[in-house]
Amino acid sequence: MNVLLVEDDPVLTDGLSRVLNSHGFTVHTVNNGNDALSQRFNAAVLVLDIGLPGIDGFEVLRRMRAAGNNTPVLLLTARDTIPDRVHGLELGADDYLVKPFATPELVARIKALIRRSAPQPAQLTVGGLSLDNATKRADIDGRKIELSLREWTVLEYLMQHASRVVSKQQIIDAVLPWGEDFTINAVEVYVSRIRLKIADSGVAIRTIRGFGYMLEKSEA
């Protein structure tokens, strides 16, 4: 997978490039906004520093989206304020990391953006349970069930990985952008709520001790 890294700190650029290369990414780097906008590098994810010389990261993002470029964008910034996060989100950013950050978190967020940007099936079905992505409708054998946004995203991720074990951290990384305050305990709460709502669907969410959860068809 290709990653375009736009960062003006040469030491940070070198370090991040080495880390991403070690995880199998092909990394192309530029150190200013003008060069970022002129790139024809086919990137799966753009890692974009806000504090660039000349054209800053916000303006790069604004121009990209105005031009119809929908490449997933992960913003890097030293500014951890709500107005900055909101501004970036309104401009079309997909995720946000505040410096300093742990490189494993950067890698996890890039992988999550790639997963989220992949084409999704119009409908997911396991047992009697189905999720329709076009209408955002959840059904059990044709009967609609009500899910909150977070319940939907957690259940969708579990259904996408049906019959496989997923960790609580994988759920957090995959479904929640922008570093929202969503803890391991919160995952447990939402899984508990979902279990109650899908109890008669022929589908169960098993707890795999020490590993996470597995969604699968219930035994008859």
Sign (positive/negative) of CA torsion 112, 178, 212, 159? negative
pLDDT class for 142, splitting at 50, 70, 90? Answer: very high
Residue-wise pLDDT for 165-209, tens only, equals 999 988 887 776 544 566 788 899 999 999 999 999 999 999 999
Pick the CATH number of 2-117 from 3.40.50.2300, 3.30.465.10, 3.30.1370.100, 3.40.30.10: 3.40.50.2300
Percentage of the chain exceeding pLDDT 90 = 61
User: Could you give the CA distance from residue 177 to residue 4 in angstroms, rounded to a whole number?
Assistant: 19
Residues in the chain: 220
Q: How confident is the model at residue 126 (pLDDT cuts 50, 70, 90)?
A: very high
> In this predicted structure, what is the pLDDT of residue 72?
94
The beta-strand segments (E) located in 22-142 are 26-30, 45-49, 73-77, 95-98, 123-126, 129-132, 137-140
Across all residues in the chain, what is the average pLDDT?
A: 89
Map residue 13 onto helix, strand or coil. Answer: helix
Can you give the pLDDT at residue 153?
87
More confident residue, 96 or 22: 22
Give the model's pLDDT for residue 47.
97
The predicted pLDDT at position 177 comes to: 54
pLDDT tens digits along 66-83? 999 999 999 998 877 778
Residue 31 makes CB contacts below 8 A (sequence gap 6+) with 6, 7, 8, 10, 13, 52, 53
- The rounded distance, in Å, linking the Cα atoms of 47 and 96 is 9
Query: Can you read off the two tokens belonging to residue 58?
Result: 């916000």
pTM above 0.75, yes or no: no
pLDDT of 151 > 70? The answer is yes
- CATH architecture, domain 123-217: Orthogonal Bundle (1.10)
Listed by start position, the domains of the chain span 2-117, 123-217
Q: What is the pLDDT of residue 179?
A: 46
